[in-house]
Amino acid sequence: MTGSAVPEDVDLERANVARMYDYWLGGACNFAVDREHADRIEASNHTARHAARSNRTFLRRVVRSCLARGIDQFLDLGSGVPTVGNVHEIAPDARVAYVDHEAVAVAHSREILAGIDRASVTQADLADAEAVLTAPGVADLLDFSRPVAVLAIAVLHYVPGDLTALLAPYRARLVPGGVLAISHVSDEQDDPDLADRIRAAAEVFRGSANPVTLRSRAELAAPFEGLAIDAPGTVDVTDWPDARPDVVPVGMYAVCAALTTASPTAPPSTPPAPPAS
């Protein structure tokens, strides 16, 4: 690993998914244990590296779609190590609040974002929505009285529990025009070979700091009930927003949806002061 000294609370005995993704994306913020575990996962599912890069492509497409809607605020949950092509680079004039629980990802993010007043990084567990939404890096940067895009790309399958309940506090903060977008691995696949490889990779993840929770398409669709889901609906990340039959699917579903009517459960929001120029 290059860059800053390793934070004291980093577990160097177990692989971490944020650092494994960094390795698959060609970054330098990873350790031998991460590379070894990532290689084992890739041996069980040869599309693992392709999946990481396809999710990064999906992220870019979602952000550009949000910009086209006029959204200029993003809450990126489980943002990981900020390798090339992160939200603040795709949308340089937008406000971007990154949130991750992994110490190396957060430390490196703070280095990269130093001096960028329109972006922040918060170390928090996305499952603790109250801690995330009240953190200064989120509450003082984003104006939830205006549309915000909440992104949870390739992260929710590392968080156990009911997905609808997990996302409910974030959805409740959306105002009309706001967007919720996720990508999530699933073994509910039309291709039985892909389904088997997804399950095999999930088994390898059990030995990491981030075991995988596989969810069905119905479970992935449930948090979006009542929202306007973008075409083409729930599809492999490689096929969003347009089908690409020449690209190998990776077994991760993408969903992007907008709130079109006011939510009765959304709490009032006090707009933060604009960032210093």
Band of residue 277 on the pLDDT scale cut at 50, 70, 90: very low
Residue 74: phi and psi, rounded to 5, are -135, 135
Tokens 């927003």 correspond to what residue? 241
Does any domain span residue 228?
A: yes
Query: Residue range 63-87: average pLDDT?
Result: 91
Q: What is the pLDDT of residue 239?
A: 97
Q: What is the pLDDT of residue 95?
A: 98
Band of residue 271 on the pLDDT scale cut at 50, 70, 90: very low
The rounded mean pLDDT for the chain is 87
Q: Tell me how far apart the alpha carbons of residues 191 and 103 are, in angstroms, rounded to a whole number.
A: 37
Task: Note if the bond before 241 is cis, omega within 30 degrees.
Answer: yes
Band of residue 13 on the pLDDT scale cut at 50, 70, 90: confident
Does any domain span residue 24?
A: no
Q: What is the pLDDT of residue 107?
A: 84
Q: Tell me how far apart the alpha carbons of residues 166 and 162 are, in angstroms, rounded to a whole number.
A: 6
Does any domain span residue 204?
A: no
Evaluate if residue 24 carries a pLDDT over 80. no
Evaluate if residue 274 carries a pLDDT over 60. no
Q: What is the pLDDT of residue 42?
A: 81
Evaluate if residue 133 carries a pLDDT over 70. yes
Does any domain span residue 16?
A: no
Q: Tell me which residue range forms the domain holding 141.
A: 48-193+212-258
Q: What is the pLDDT of residue 235?
A: 97
Judge whether 248 and 238 are in contact, CB under 8 Å: yes
Looking up residue 220, the CATH number of its domain turns out to be 3.40.50.150
Does any domain span residue 136?
A: yes
Enter the DSSP assignment of 11.
-
Judge whether 75 and 151 are in contact, CB under 8 Å: yes
Q: Tell me how far apart the alpha carbons of residues 27 and 59 are, in angstroms, rounded to a whole number.
A: 17
219 versus 200: which is more confidently predicted?
Answer: 219
Band of residue 47 on the pLDDT scale cut at 50, 70, 90: confident
Element spanning 250, H or E:
none
Q: What is the pLDDT of residue 8?
A: 57
Does any domain span residue 85?
A: yes
Residue 72: phi and psi, rounded to 5, are -130, 25
Evaluate if residue 156 carries a pLDDT over 80. yes
Tokens 């449930």 correspond to what residue? 222
Work out how many domains the chain is built from and give that number.
1
Task: Note if the bond before 232 is cis, omega within 30 degrees.
Answer: yes
Per cent of the chain over pLDDT 90 is: 62
Evaluate if residue 270 carries a pLDDT over 70. no
Secondary structure class of 196 (helix, strand, coil) = helix
Judge whether 231 and 241 are in contact, CB under 8 Å: yes
Q: Tell me how far apart the alpha carbons of residues 191 and 39 are, in angstroms, rounded to a whole number.
A: 23
Query: Residue range 216-223: average pLDDT?
Result: 96
Which residues neighbour 118 within 8 Å (Cβ) at sequence distance 6 or greater?
Answer: 88, 92, 93, 94, 95, 96, 141, 275
Does any domain span residue 274?
A: no
Does any domain span residue 153?
A: yes
Q: What is the pLDDT of residue 268?
A: 43
Instruction: Pull the structure tokens for residue 14.
Output: 């177990």
Q: Is 247 exposed, middle or buried (0-12, 13-18, 19+ CB in 10 A)?
A: middle
Query: Residue range 16-32: average pLDDT?
Result: 77
21-36 burial code (b ≥16 CB/10 A, e <16)? bbbbbebebbbebbbe
The per-residue pLDDT for range 97-109, each reduced to its tens digit, is: 999 998 878 888 8
